[in-house]
Structure 1
Amino acid sequence: MRVRILGSAAGGGIPQWNCACAGCAAARRSGAHRTQDGVAVTGDGTAWYLVNASPDLRVQLVSAGDLDPGPGRRDTPIRGVLLTTAELDHTAGLLGLREAGRLDLTATATVLAALPLIPILRRYTDLRTHELPIGAPLALDGGLTVRALVVGAKVPRYADPCPDHRPDDAWVTALRIGDERTGRSFVYATCLPAWTDAFDAFLAGADAALLDGTFSTEDEPARAAGLTRTPREMGHLPIAGALPALRRHPGVRFLFGHLNNTNPYAAGPAPVEVARDGQELLL
């Protein structure tokens, strides 16, 4: 299995177009830019699945190489998109796929029902939506399977408030993608509000995991941006909060993505491995 990290930043990327904070200013000076969070996964090198579709998706696909179209004029190795949230930074890139001859979109029933882009996409392409089951494996092309675990209940701003919301709505999921031929597996959880027992069990035995690296510490939003909400209140476990749990999984390669522009680890030394745009994992 191959996992290509398409983007490693939180919403807005680094630098953000309208931000002159220290992190964005440093990124402009150094050219150390990061596009918004997402990965591409394949089991056989032919059939690829996108995990989320950021607003930067076109640039990410053009830069990837392995995701180029061909040999036919409209052939593409992309077999579908798996969504872990309904947030705009994970879904707005779907509009860039509207010229596909067919587009397979897999997400929880909660996300599919909320996503305002679905009726728009149906006007442009043969859109086929598939409900992502919770817990049970779903077969993908290329010998892969995916399992989902609900990890959060953060509602996108455009969908809140809504009187139809229920406490058990599956707004935010982690994915475990496995290769049936090799037994290797990869966990994607870049929006993780808490490290629960259920997530710990979901992660156990994986070969690699891309985790929530939005913030470095609990006080980062207040210290760097003057915000009153904590990372956990925004749906993100800070890296410092995850570190103790990593020791229980010594066989897992951990990377942190979805970095916010305030996170000093985006451009400086870090106590963990920080994902990079274009990085590839071979599992």
Structure 2
Amino acid sequence: MFDLKMLGTAAGGGIPQWNCSCNLCDLCRKHPQIVQPRLQLQATVSTDGQKWSLLNASPDLRFQIEANPELQPSAVHGRRNTPIQSIVLTSADLDQVLGLLLLREFQPLTVYATALVRKTLEANSFFRMLHRVPNQLTWIEIAPEESFALGSPEIVCTPIPLPGSLPFYARELDNGEEGQASLGLLLEADGVRVAYTPSVPEITDDLRSLYASCNVILVDGTFWSDAELSRTHSGTPLARAIGHVPLSGDDGTIALLADLDFPRKVFVHMNNTNPVLDPRSREYKTAIDAGWEIGYDGWQLNQRP
């Protein structure tokens, strides 16, 4: 069985965001039964429910492990152990890599990343904490469109090249090579194909074709509209300017993928400003009526072909 679980479904900062009193964050604090709190984006996959691979490593990872018993160590295997076999990094964004530093307790780890992402992290002295003892961290280099076996029993994982550059803190290291700085993932096991693309700067024909071949797609749901963030926080950039296709509009994700038919299509990585987080909103109803699910912490795929 192919098992994928969302441990967190929010964009950076989660919801409620620590320094935000917008309508949605305020509602989330006062009425969490209406607007559910969400941790920062994190997913994990397995084919046997025993050994798991993480898709990135969020800043909320410690809380996410403690909230999901299948990811916790077992005394049956001794005092130090983990069912987490490996971590796949799709970028060097802080929201996707800071969790690695929480896994530094002399635990051997295997990390899959492009050469550029590895170079970016190793250039930062913080990540030397993952090299304090021999074999603490094993890097496995991945490349766009080159499939590799993830975990055991295996999931076939194929990196999907996406437009994008290194995050602001590491721009000087960017070599401009597409697919090195930002990836999506195609995951295949037991006859099931899942596209994991929580950050999408552009919906290309190639990406549409990939989605059309999948059983399930998990897609960037960061912003409802292009100007959403700037309306809430004056002076901030448009959605597309920071690499996210908005959900609404004639050139938004819902319209661009309206003619594709899937068993399941799910929005993940919602920003705290996105009105689809309120199930009473017009925007939520529009997304649901268009055949989309709004992902939530704990959303899980258990699917047999």
After TM superposition, is the score higher than 0.5?
A: yes
Deviation track 1:169-213 (CA, whole Å, cap 9, x = no partner) reads 62111001110xx21021111111010112122323211111101
2:116 corresponds to which residue?
110
Q: CA deviation at 1:231?
A: 0.8
**Matched-pair contact (CA < 8 Å) for 2:220–2:244:** yes
2:184 corresponds to which residue?
174
- The residue type equivalent to 1:37 in the other structure is L
CA distance in 2, matches of 1:56, 1:119: 20
2:147 corresponds to which residue?
137
**Matched-pair contact (CA < 8 Å) for 1:110–1:171:** yes
SS in 2 for 1:41: strand
The number of aligned residues is 280
**Matched-pair contact (CA < 8 Å) for 1:154–1:235:** no
- The residue type equivalent to 2:19 in the other structure is N
1:227–1:279 distance in 2 versus 1, CA, 3 Å: same
SS in 2 for 1:239: coil
2:200 corresponds to which residue?
192
1:55 pairs with 2:59: yes
2:136 corresponds to which residue?
126
**Matched-pair contact (CA < 8 Å) for 2:7–2:44:** yes
Identity of aligned residues (%): 35
1:98 corresponds to which residue?
104
CA distance in 1, matches of 2:220, 2:173: 29
CA distance in 1, matches of 2:263, 2:116: 30
2:298 corresponds to which residue?
278
Q: CA deviation at 1:237?
A: 0.8
1:12 pairs with 2:22: no
Q: What TM-score do the two structures reach when normalised by structure 1?
A: 0.93
2:254 corresponds to which residue?
243
- The residue type equivalent to 1:18 in the other structure is N
* RMSD of Structure 2 on Structure 1 (CA): 1.7
1:97–1:164 distance in 2 versus 1, CA, 3 Å: closer
CA distance in 1, matches of 2:257, 2:165: 24
1:165 corresponds to which residue?
175
198-207 or 44-53: bigger deviation: 198-207
1:104–1:167 distance in 2 versus 1, CA, 3 Å: closer
CA distance in 1, matches of 2:149, 2:4: 17
User: Which residues of 2 match residues 35-54 of structure 1 at below 5 A?
Assistant: 35-54=39-58
Deviation track 1:76-99 (CA, whole Å, cap 9, x = no partner) reads 111010111111111101111111
- The residue type equivalent to 1:175 in the other structure is L
CA distance in 2, matches of 1:60, 1:174: 22
1:154–1:164 distance in 2 versus 1, CA, 3 Å: closer
1:81–1:265 distance in 2 versus 1, CA, 3 Å: same
Deviation track 1:150-173 (CA, whole Å, cap 9, x = no partner) reads 11213212112x165324362111
1:238–1:145 distance in 2 versus 1, CA, 3 Å: same
CA distance in 2, matches of 1:81, 1:90: 11
CA distance in 1, matches of 2:97, 2:174: 22
Mark the runs of 5 or more structure 1 residues left unpaired by the alignment.
none
Q: What TM-score do the two structures reach when normalised by structure 2?
A: 0.87
1:122–1:282 distance in 2 versus 1, CA, 3 Å: same
1:66 pairs with 2:63: no
User: Which residues of 2 match residues 246-257 of structure 1 at below 5 A?
Assistant: 246-257=257-268
**Matched-pair contact (CA < 8 Å) for 2:165–2:176:** no
SS in 1 for 2:66: helix
1:230 corresponds to which residue?
238
**Matched-pair contact (CA < 8 Å) for 1:110–1:169:** no
**Matched-pair contact (CA < 8 Å) for 1:190–1:211:** yes
1:34 corresponds to which residue?
38
Mark the runs of 5 or more structure 2 residues left unpaired by the alignment.
none
Q: CA deviation at 1:248?
A: 3.6
1:77 corresponds to which residue?
83
**Matched-pair contact (CA < 8 Å) for 1:52–1:82:** yes
1:80–1:223 distance in 2 versus 1, CA, 3 Å: same
